[in-house]
Amino acid sequence: MIDAYQVAIILAFICIILEMFTGTLLLYSAAFSFVIVAIFQFVSNGLEIDRDLLIFSISLCVSVIFLRKTYGKKSDIKRLKDDDVNIY
């Protein structure tokens, strides 16, 4: 029988493989979060949906912020010139 932490690790690998096709760094964050959830599931020896969803969502937010700060481009942020929203 497959354990819950093994499912989380498989989902992490699937996210990494899909990220190779997209290149957006969002699925790397999900893969990182699945690995963190898998570690908690392995240590606690079981699946608890409430705890796992909480850990996944917190680690996803932290990893998205970290990856955006680390690998974000300066050109991603555009400043408005003279408060003109109609820049063409």
pLDDT in tens, 18-63: 999 987 888 999 999 999 999 999 999 888 899 999 999 999 999 9
Give the length of the chain: 88
Quote the CA–CA distance of 41 and 35 in Å, as a whole number.
10
Confidence of residue 76 (pLDDT cuts 50, 70, 90): low
Q: Which two tokens stand for residue 87?
A: 């820049």
Q: How far apart are CA 58 and CA 68, in angstroms?
A: 16
Helix ranges (DSSP H) in the chain = 4-22, 26-44, 49-71
Delimit the domains of the chain by residue range.
4-72
| Confidence band for 78, pLDDT divided at 50, 70 and 90 | low
The encoded tokens of residue 75 equal: 């050109």
DSSP code for 80: P
